[in-house]
Amino acid sequence: MDQSVAIQETLADGEYCVIAVQGVLCGGDSRQSRLLGLVRYRPERGGQEHALFLYTHRRMAITGDDVSLDQIVPVSRDFTLEEVSPDGELYILGSDVTVQLDTAELSLLFQLPFGSHTRTFLQEVARACPGFDPATPDPEFRWLSRYRCPEPEPEPPTPQSWNSAPGTWPGRARIGGGGSSSDELRPNGKGLPVDQSSWGQNKPENSLSRQNKSKSEITNMVRSSTITVSDKAHILSMQKFGLRDTIVKSHLIQKEEDYTYIQNFRFFVGTYNVNGQSPKECLRPWLSHDTQAPDVYCVGFQELDLSKEAFFFHDTPKEEEWFKAVSEALHPDAKYAKVKLIRLVGIMLLLYVKQEHAAYISEVEAETVGTGIMGRMGNKGGVAIRFQFHNTSICVVNSHLAAHTEEYERRNQDYKDICSRMQFCQVDPSLPPLTISKHDVILWLGDLNYRIEDPDVEKVKKLIEEKAFQTLYAYDQVPAATQALFRQLSLPCPTPQGAQKAWLPSSSSASSSSSWEVWALCFSEKCRAPAWCDRVLWKGKNITQLSYQSHMALKTSDHKPVSSVFDIGVRVINEELYRKTLEEIVRSLDKMENANIPSVSLSKREFCFQNVKYMHLQVESFTIRNGQVPCQFEFISKPNEEFYCKQWLRASPSRGFLLPDSAIEIELELFVNKTTATKLNSGEDKIEDILVLHLERGKDYFLSVSGNYIPSCFGSPIHTLCYMKEPILDLPLETIRELTLMQLQTEDNGSQLEKPMDIPKELWILVDYLYRNAIQQEDLFQQPGLRSEFDHIRDCLDTGMIDNLSASNHSVAEALLLFLESLPEPVICYSAYRNCLECSGNLAASKQVITALPACHRNVFTYLMAFLQELLKNSAKNHLDDNILASIFGSLLLRNPAGHQKLEMAEKKKAQEFVHQFLTHPEPLSLLSYSA
């Protein structure tokens, strides 16, 4: 996932996040997650300047609300960043990359994920450094002055004064040779030549001295005998692929069968929903039950941590506990090295390989996709690791889909979201990202939550006691999903191909016994039928499933761990045949005329998107067909523009490579969200754009994009909606434009307009629906709704046809959150944000802030608080509490002013505390009787 988008939302005009990478800031025994963003700015005097922005974040960063600015490190002449090997440790192939960031003032140690994205990040930082040419003027970084902490007597913003004022900046940096004049990358990839620089400030607790620090215990848990030297660590500093390299690689892929042969390797694939528990027993009965040691372990967990802290802040000690438990339970007859660990809240995936295979693992990438509420929360979703084993690409996915028998369509939607949004960077950055389906072998594991359809719990238990599994299979939801969804998408088939499912269902509501006769008696509490929730699926050639079973001896959780063992045929390279094939390709390439100019034909150059709606994806496609010369293509930005297209548009892929006489399909995806809706509503922006398709060594092609946007209440200001007494689609476009551009007034200024409504009718419709139907709904505002139902809700609100509104409570609840998120000016106006933080905890002062809001905003806040208080009165049924609601609504009602830096987590908690005090001190429910 590209997290630079979240950083971009925090930046001011003219500042651009080039690339971002998520890493871990290491200090002694402390390990804190940080998002590192390289930010570029072009001063008026010409040239460009860069700084490294370091952010804390509470989960995978999707929007600016998910990150908080922690430190800024200007990339100046004394800035250096160096890859290090702590305490002389050897590289483990695929392990995290340790880099030391230094300045004269401070020193920080980071662990960055192994893979091409980290390599690209380091390359971009290296290119960003100003170099050693004395003729080049020193960067001044005046644009960073707005991020400085306030001082009693501010000095003129010069680099010298900043360096001499410790306590001003939270950052420090390093990339390169620290004073060396060399501009060459070190051949072994251990260092990048850049300068040292930093702006002084108080050293944070996690800052380090220059000497290397040892890795934390979590990295050392892999047995020392498993460590192998990797000669591929230099991949992180390799230069970008050239055109000739890309042509050679493409021909090698076409001729793969000429120089490879199939060799079987044993894969262990396991999944375990641990129900938030810590390890209480040895895992060897699950991980080492076979006599033969696996070559590869793929081990997944769900519900690793069920605490609110894990859900909202992404941190959990359970990660280290379960990692250690797995490492100690691997097969005793072999030695293993950890390749990768990836986690999203409670979903974790571990990949190990035998020591002797480590040198043949490459191109390791890991990604996450959250499918929880508002499409971002990680309580549900998936994590994945992709890698190259010898010459075979493998993708391992661990997912936790929506629960409950009736949420069948929600599970299907989660699955499709994971498939479409899970994308991996390639080693060659000029190539488009890889999706799950673009791999030779796909292994999909996890708690898929597909159930046994029969509603009679006693009947299901009786059939299990009689071991009448064939009868139960007829009620399994997964085969239906296979026909309706999985086969249609040509993705992993969830039916156990050739395997017997004659193992007991892996989920129940008791964990005290491994005997089914005793186990079954414990279902009376939840009245939930057992099911094959935990599955192992696969797709690919040369795959033989040897076993597929649950492990009833483990009692830690209400689920039982599941395992499947495979023999997978992997393509192994014959070195002699590979050399011969490569020589033939190079010889034929040498004969090609370099003077030839590439030329392509486009199947379509004009694209019209009709009736574009808020958060409704539209896709148009066209084909690029190449001529006789290999070519690289890329959509490029137009003069004086930062991006190649407007924010609501995206080309996929936006760049790529074409062999002679080959073709590729390009999709233009148009999606209007909270960032772009307001200007489209007001007419300040239109669905119009020109794309420039550039061929390397060739000409440019121009593509025209046009269309019309259907205005929506989503993305409209509160005061605008209060003046719209008719549905927005019943109003003339000019009226919508005038009302949207109308300035917000604190009090009535004698306007000639009619008296506005107290609150937007759309808000009342959503809240009233929930008040009447969902006041006792379990997990309200925590479980996502269906996307198709959101489209229906949006259309009902925009057309005023509320009598037709029919959707699940969860879908309406999510629509309410999306409505609040889409407001260009939040419920508590930006101008009041600082006052809210200052008076947090003081109810009387907080009420004064609310009283000072414009009437429409004040009414909306009061109305929402009254509704949330009604929900809390029914907490025994809906399981909501004031902390959950304050966390969810705090970031929606109170947002940082646009263009200002993100605040510390402590200040975010103050914002939640501000909302929390209104939840625990009820006000009169005067607005619940509001009528549209």
Q: Which residues pair with 625 in a beta bridge?
A: 601, 663
Q: What is the DSSP string of 220-265?
A: HTS-GGG----TTGGGGGPPPPPHHHHHHHHHHHHTGGGTEEEEEE
Instruction: Express each pLDDT in 345-355 by its tens digit.
Output: 889 999 999 98
- Residue 103's Cβ-side half-sphere holds a number of Cα atoms within 13 Å equal to 23
Tell me the pLDDT tens digit for each residue of 633-665.
999 998 888 899 999 999 988 988 888 899 999
Contacts of the segment 27-33: beta carbons below 8 A, 24+ positions apart: 27/108, 27/109, 27/205, 27/206, 27/207, 27/208, 27/213, 28/206, 28/208, 28/213, 29/216, 29/217, 30/205, 30/206, 31/216, 31/218, 32/56, 32/206, 33/57, 33/314, 33/315
Cα(88)–Cα(212) distance, integer angstroms: 9
Q: Other CB atoms closer than 10 Å to residue 490's CB: what's the count?
A: 9
816 touches 887 (CB < 8 A): no
**Chain centroid offset of residue 184 CA:** 34
pLDDT confidence of residue 184: 30
**Residue whose tokens read 């495979």:** 566
Residue 309's pLDDT is what?
A: 62
Q: What is the mean pLDDT of the chain?
A: 77
Most confident segment among 166-170, 693-697, 815-819: 815-819
Give the pLDDT band of residue 679 (cuts 50, 70, 90).
Answer: very high
Q: Give the mean pLDDT of 378-405.
A: 89
Q: Over 50: is that where the pLDDT of 618 sits?
A: yes
pLDDT digits (tens, 9 = 90+) for 292-309: 999 999 999 999 887 766
DSSP-derived pairing of the beta strands 606-612 and 700-709: parallel
**Residue 486: is its pLDDT beyond 80?**
no
Quick one: tokens of 342?
């990836």
Residue 500: pLDDT band with limits 50, 70, 90: very low
pLDDT on residue 753: 67
Read off the pLDDT of each residue in 162-190 and give the average, rounded to a whole number: 31
Q: What's the pLDDT score for residue 516?
A: 26
Q: Count of CB atoms within 10 A of residue 804's CB?
A: 10
Position 497 pLDDT exceeds 80: no
Q: Which two tokens stand for residue 773?
A: 């139907």
What pLDDT shows up at residue 513?
A: 31
Q: Which amino acid is at 300?
A: G
> What value does the mean pLDDT take over residues 248-252?
82
pLDDT in tens, 95-146: 578 888 887 778 888 988 866 678 788 888 888 887 655 666 778 888 998 8
Contact 831, 904 (CB under 8 A): no
Query: So what's the pLDDT on residue 105?
Result: 78
Q: Tell me how far CA of residue 279 lies from CA of 213, 322, 323, 328, in angstroms.
A: 29, 6, 10, 12
How many whole angstroms separate alpha carbon 770 and alpha carbon 928? 12
pLDDT above 50 for 22: yes
Tell me the range of 202-206, 451-455, 799-803 where mean pLDDT is highest: 799-803
Residue 217 Cα to chain centre, angstroms: 27
Spell out the residues 6+ positions from residue 85 whose beta carbon is closer than 8 angstroms to its own. 91, 98, 190, 212
Distance CA 311, CA 930 (A): 35
Pick the more confident residue, 29 or 780: 780
pLDDT beyond 80 at 750:
no
Q: Given this model, what pLDDT does residue 672 score?
A: 95
Position 791 pLDDT exceeds 90: yes
Taking the C-alpha atoms of residue 648 and residue 305, their distance in angstroms, rounded to an integer, is: 36
Tokens of 160: 């010298």
Determine which of 82-86, 703-707, 872-876 has the lowest per-residue pLDDT on average. 82-86
- pLDDT at position 95 is 59
Taking the C-alpha atoms of residue 309 and residue 219, their distance in angstroms, rounded to an integer, is 24
Domains and CATH numbers, the chain: 3-131 (2.30.29.110), 263-450+533-573 (3.60.10.10), 600-710 (2.60.40.10), 755-920 (1.10.555.10)
Whole-number pLDDT of residue 921 = 79
Q: Provide the 3-class DSSP secondary structure of residue 635.
A: strand
pLDDT at residue number 904: 58
User: Per-residue pLDDT for 193 more than 60?
Assistant: no
Residue type, 911: A
The encoded tokens of residue 353 equal: 């390989």
